Amino acid sequence: ELGFILNQSFQQGTISQIEQAARLLIETYSVQRTVTVHFDRGAVCVSREYDSTVECFFQGSFYLPKGYIKSAVGAGDGFAAGVIYGIHKKWPIQERLHCGICVATMCLKDLTSYGGVGTIEECLQLKDTFQFRTLEPTSVVNDLEN
């Protein structure tokens, strides 16, 4: 959706480019609180949630073993559901992103959009099972080799 709104392609974009685009949405398009963008390698959230200062948060997706991913159907919706759950629980932004990544990751292990998702506790246990990727400003958003 970010690319559609800004009429740009971010398929081979960097984390820094995603951050700049999200900041543009907040500053130019009058987004009130946060812009959160998710992609293969993780997510970027630009926020002015707590005051007028705009902050940026990065969260890498998990390194997953070969064969874990059965389908990506529902992973984006799962990510959004996890972030919204975190908002409901009044968690800090970084924890919301963790939750979104965890729920999205559960979606990946089944061919359907819902079959892999368990309870929120089961989703969050993935943080103890898998390692998060480290995102750098120069990281490419869809490069799953690293």
The number of angstroms, rounded, from the C-alpha of 134 to the middle of its chain's C-alpha atoms is 13
Rounded Cα distance, 5 and 61, in Å: 24
pLDDT for res 1: 74
The range of the structural domain enclosing residue 75 comes to 64-130
Q: How many domains does the chain have?
A: 2
Same domain, 124 and 86: yes
pLDDT for res 79: 96
Same domain, 136 and 126: no
Same domain, 51 and 74: no
| DSSP three-state, residue 80 | helix
Same domain, 54 and 70: no
Same domain, 69 and 108: yes
Measured CA to CA in angstroms, residue 24 lies from 27, 56, 88 at distances of: 5, 12, 26
Q: Are 63 and 103 in contact (CB under 8 A)?
A: no
- Tens digit of each residue's pLDDT (9 = 90 or more) over 41-94: 999 999 986 667 889 999 999 999 999 999 999 999 999 999 999 999 999 999
Q: What separation, in Å, do the N-terminal and C-terminal C-alpha atoms of the chain show?
A: 25
Rounded Cα distance, 136 and 23, in Å: 17
Average pLDDT over the chain reads 89
Binned at pLDDT 50, 70 and 90, residue 146 comes out as very low
Measured CA to CA in angstroms, residue 18 lies from 91, 110, 125, 131 at distances of: 23, 29, 28, 23
Q: What is the pTM of this model?
A: 0.89
- 140 CB-side CA count, 13 A: 8
